[in-house]
């Protein structure tokens, strides 16, 4: 049996809690995992002075996949070095240009946990394909300066044709394996980068004539996402818009705590993490929702470790656990983080999850 090397970056806040929960589930599977824990984010700043130590980065380069909890918190706000800088650098160094965020609400869960009516979330099955290494998060210059006694802050949004082309090609390829529809989101009525985005996406669609393409402005897409979400198949968008829209989409599932993500590059290597943040207000209380982390582990099993059959088992175990009412507080349940993880792990031996 092959051994798979996975670097675990617990991070900050609830990160260690949800990564431990996901690892507990992974360890119930018939797979040989070599797990290595390394400091990252705010905890790494406290330990080494930097959010991404060289030893952590080297271990990631030598792994088959990276599994991340979350980074950040008020402790490091206003500091000269922020935990989030480590995450941006890690994505850049590992050449992870695409963030994949699937949204498939479990109706029995969303019916009680989502503020939307059940008919709004029924049959929703979409995936956000977010460009990850360009846009305003990485633009230069990034500065503050004084002008006429006032402080001026500058962030620069930059996109290149090559950036847009590669994320569009991935989005169309994914749509071809789904329902063959891409909705590309931009702000082309205002932003030059969005006009370039729209031009390149339209050009790429010519190589995928079997996939339908629709362009939509980000503000109307945000409204449509909570009113007609089932119309979305692949939602293709830039870095900042994808960050915001995928968090908005969590309302469809009932909680930001249940959505997974994968950050991918050109090969099978990937970085996997729940889309939620470090939630410092509930850190250490054992009540964080581990489902997003567990489903991120399922994405890792499928894409980076080549074990889609195990991914399906984990997904089935999660669905059964939640459907039977075993849930954390954010979903209206009474169980804690460890209890939900244990229930999912226990169901992996159930014939219904084979």
Domain locations in the chain as residue ranges: 1-96+270-354, 115-253
Q: How many CB atoms lie within 10 A of CB 329?
A: 16
Provide φ and ψ at 102, rounded to 5°. -75, 145
CATH topology of domain 1-96+270-354: Isopropylmalate Dehydrogenase (3.40.718)
Six-digit token pair at 211? 């996939």
How far is Cα 5 from Cα 22, in angstroms, rounded to an integer?
16
Q: How many CB atoms lie within 10 A of CB 3?
A: 9
User: Tens digit of pLDDT per residue, the chain (354 long)?
Assistant: 689 999 999 999 999 999 999 999 999 999 999 999 999 999 999 999 999 999 999 999 999 999 999 999 999 988 889 999 999 999 999 999 999 999 999 988 988 899 999 888 999 999 999 999 999 999 888 999 999 999 999 999 999 999 999 999 999 999 999 999 999 999 999 999 999 999 999 999 999 999 999 999 999 999 999 999 999 999 999 999 999 999 999 999 999 999 999 999 989 999 999 999 999 999 999 999 999 999 999 999 999 999 999 999 999 999 999 999 999 999 999 999 999 999 999 999 754 444
Q: Tell me, what's the pLDDT at 78? A: 82
Half-sphere exposure of 277 (CA within 13 A, CB side): 13
Q: What's the farthest any 2 CA atoms get from each other in the chain?
A: 71
* CATH 3.40.718.10 corresponds to the domain 115-253: yes
Catalytic site positions: 137, 187, 219, 243, 247
**1-96+270-354 against 115-253: fold identical:** yes
The whole-model pTM stands at 0.92
Six-digit token pair at 234? 């692949």
The CA-CA-CA angle for residues 272, 276, 282, to 5°, reads 125
């Amino acid at each position: 049996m092959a051994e798979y090397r996975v670097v675990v970056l617990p991070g900050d806040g609830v990160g260690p809690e949800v990564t431990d929960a996901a690892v507990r589930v992974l360890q119930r599977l018939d797979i040989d995992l070599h797990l290595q824990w390394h400091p990252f984010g705010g905890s790494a700043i406290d330990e080494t002075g930097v959010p991404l130590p060289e030893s952590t980065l080297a271990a990631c380069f030598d792994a088959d996949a990276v599994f991340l909890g979350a980074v950040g918190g008020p402790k490091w706000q206003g500091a000269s070095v922020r935990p989030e800088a480590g995450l941006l650098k890690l994505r850049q160094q590992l050449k992870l240009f695409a963030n994949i965020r699937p949204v498939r609400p479990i109706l029995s869960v969303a019916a009680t946990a989502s503020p939307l009516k059940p008919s709004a979330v029924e049959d929703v099955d979409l995936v956000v394909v977010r460009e990850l290494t360009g846009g305003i998060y990485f633009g230069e210059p990034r500065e503050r300066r004084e002008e006429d006694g006032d402080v001026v802050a500058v962030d620069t949004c930059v996109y290149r044709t090559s950036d847009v082309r590669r994320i569009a090609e991935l989005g169309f390829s994914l749509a071809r394996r789904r329902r063959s529809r891409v909705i590309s989101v931009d702000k082309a009525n205002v932003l030059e980068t969005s006009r370039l985005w729209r031009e390149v996406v339209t050009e790429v669609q010519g190589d995928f004539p079997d996939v339908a393409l629709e362009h939509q402005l980000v503000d109307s897409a945000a409204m449509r996402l909570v009113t007609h979400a089932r119309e979305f198949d692949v939602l293709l968008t830039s870095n900042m818009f994808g960050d915001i829209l995928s968090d908005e989409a969590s309302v469809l599932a009932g909680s930001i705590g249940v959505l997974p993500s994968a950050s991918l590059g050109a090969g099978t290597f990937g970085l996997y993490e729940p889309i939620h943040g470090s939630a410092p207000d509930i850190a250490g209380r054992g009540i964080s929702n581990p489902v997003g982390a567990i489903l991120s582990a399922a994405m890792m099993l499928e894409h980076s470790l080549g074990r889609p059959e195990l991914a399906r088992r984990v997904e089935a175990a999660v669905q059964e656990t939640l459907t039977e009412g075993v849930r954390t507080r954010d979903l209206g349940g009474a169980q804690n983080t460890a209890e939900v993880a244990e229930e999912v792990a226990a169901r992996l031996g159930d014939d219904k999850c084979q």
